[in-house]
Amino acid sequence: MRVLVLGGTVFVGHAVATEALRRGHEVVCAARGESGPVPDGATLVRVDRDAEDGLAPLAGESFDAVVDVATVSYPWVDRALRALADRVGHWTFVSTINVYADSVTPGQRADAALVEPVQRHATREETQTEAGVGLYGGIKVASENAVRAAMGDHAFVVRPGLITGPGDTHDRFGYWPARFSRGGRVLVPDVPEQPMQYIDVRDLAGWILDAAERDLSGDFDAIGPAGPLPELLRGIAEVVGVDVEFVPATPEQLVAAKVNPWAGPRSLPFWLPPSHAALAARDAGPSLAAGMPVLALADAVSGALEHERALGLDRERNAGLTREEEADILAGL
Ligand SMILES: NC(=O)c1ccc[n+]([C@@H]2O[C@H](COP(=O)([O-])OP(=O)(O)OC[C@H]3O[C@@H](n4cnc5c(N)ncnc54)[C@H](OP(=O)(O)O)[C@@H]3O)[C@@H](O)[C@H]2O)c1
């Protein structure tokens, strides 16, 4: 196949391009080339999706499959479809589980109600505020609608939850293997009932390529089976294999210590606030039935830890607690 990745210079897009090359496909990546290099063997076509005619370098090109990772921009998606849809066989749009209107009811599937569509562009900073999560979801819904309208039975809409794996830029899953690798007393959220689920970027990339090869269409969550968070943390610690003592803190204690849930600075990744209690409690059944692969936890953990070590365990993180923050909080419990 001739595959176009709209992206390809970082994380998900890079993993898709890498997997497509491994399968012997011809791969073109269209991006500015600012986030990183495309994988060896792929061709980078420099485009600027902020410009109305930014995709002009792709004019006249045809592709068997397109994979678009456009994060928060309806105009990017709309322009790409207008420029290319007529000459493309299959189109994957990488959306998000933040499209769902209800984040508190567990066990939902991809046919659940969505937030209202928002046909605009947003900056990453705009989406990082509390109100920004809704904006992110709304822009993804509008983008999904455009892809379905243009590609019909050849549109594959995948909605990942938390993604881990080589190239991860969010630092959430990786916080735990990185922290456990240092050993000692580890602050963990005391939320025995909270489910957690994730997908490894290599599974996501593999499934996207399978879908393109099989012309699979429809809307799917891209997230592995949900399980209790304490079990996942114990499983990660076992794979890391360094002695650790879990020191559980209740949500009340964590809030009092000004620890943020889920992501960002001074956070405990995986711990969800009540407003998003079921963000990681979705029913993975339909996606598994449609062929979504799931790496063994040991492989996901070793991939994340290798990536963490390559970045440096003591770097400034995008998510998690610093050594000093954790020590202060433990001392105050
Ligand atoms: N990480 C998660 O846990 C998670 C969870 C759910 C969903 N998702 C979704 O997964 C996707 C992540 O995609 P990703 O990891 O590949 O990263 P990304 O950071 O969203 O990258 C987007 C791509 O767009 C390119 N780009 C940025 N500005 C551009 C411009 N003006 N013109 C052309 N290209 C431009 C970037 O390359 P250049 O900078 O080189 O141009 C990059 O390759 C997103 O759609 C996100 O919503 C992620």
pLDDT at 305: 98
Q: Is 295's pLDDT higher than 80?
A: yes
Domains and CATH numbers, the chain: 2-160 (3.40.50.720), 175-196+226-332 (no CATH)
Q: Which of 129-133, 165-169, 186-190, 301-305 has the weakest average pLDDT? A: 129-133
Contacts of 167 (CB under 8 A, 6+ apart): 10, 11, 14, 15, 201, 307
Give the number of the atom of ligand 1 that is nearest the alpha carbon of residue 47: 33
Cα 14 to averaged position of ligand 1 atoms, centre (Å): 10
**Angle of helix 201-214 versus helix 11-22 axis, rounded to 10:** 50
Contact criterion met (CB below 8 Å) for 14 and 8: yes
Measuring from each residue's beta carbon to the nearest atom of ligand 1, which residues come in under 6 Å? Answer: 7-13, 31-35, 47-50, 69, 71, 94, 96, 160, 162-163, 170
Within 13 Å and on the Cβ side, how many CA atoms surround 245?
Answer: 4
Cα 70 to averaged position of ligand 1 atoms, centre (Å): 6
Cα 274 to averaged position of ligand 1 atoms, centre (Å): 28
Q: pLDDT-based confidence at 14, cuts 50/70/90?
A: very high
Q: What is the DSSP-derived secondary structure letter of residue 56?
A: G
Cα 71 to averaged position of ligand 1 atoms, centre (Å): 5
Cα 73 to averaged position of ligand 1 atoms, centre (Å): 10
Q: pLDDT-based confidence at 35, cuts 50/70/90?
A: very high
**Mean pLDDT of the chain, nearest integer:** 97
Mutational pocket test of ligand 1: of 4, 5, 10, 141, the residue with most ligand atoms within 8 Å of the beta carbon: 10
**pLDDT 10s digits, 197-252:** 999 999 999 999 999 999 999 999 999 999 999 999 999 999 999 999 999 999 99
Instruction: Quote the CA–CA distance of 226 and 196 in Å, as a whole number.
Output: 5
Mutational pocket test of ligand 1: of 28, 69, 74, the residue with most ligand atoms within 8 Å of the beta carbon: 69
Instruction: Quote the CA–CA distance of 217 and 16 in Å, as a whole number.
Output: 17
Q: pLDDT-based confidence at 124, cuts 50/70/90?
A: confident
Q: pLDDT-based confidence at 34, cuts 50/70/90?
A: very high
pLDDT at 127: 86
Tell me the residue length of the chain: 333
pLDDT at 128: 81
> In the predicted model, what is the mean pLDDT of residues 178-205?
98
Cα 257 to averaged position of ligand 1 atoms, centre (Å): 33
**Whose C-alpha lies nearest to ligand 1, atom 46?**
71
Q: Which helix (H) or strand (E) holds 212?
A: helix 201-214
Mutational pocket test of ligand 1: of 4, 12, 92, 198, the residue with most ligand atoms within 8 Å of the beta carbon: 12
Instruction: Quote the CA–CA distance of 262 and 277 in Å, as a whole number.
Output: 11
> In the predicted model, what is the mean pLDDT of residues 166-187?
97
Angle at 308 between CA 194 and CA 239, to 5 degrees: 55
pTM above 0.85, yes or no: yes
C-alpha torsion sign, points 120, 263, 219, 92: positive
Cα 245 to averaged position of ligand 1 atoms, centre (Å): 37
Contacts of 123 (CB under 8 A, 6+ apart): 72
**pLDDT 10s digits, 47-99:** 999 999 999 999 999 999 999 999 999 999 999 999 999 999 999 999 999 99
Q: Is 130's pLDDT higher than 80?
A: no
**pLDDT 10s digits, 259-273:** 999 999 999 999 999
Q: Which helix (H) or strand (E) holds 74?
A: helix 74-84
pLDDT at 147: 98
| Percent of the chain with pLDDT strictly greater than 70 | 100
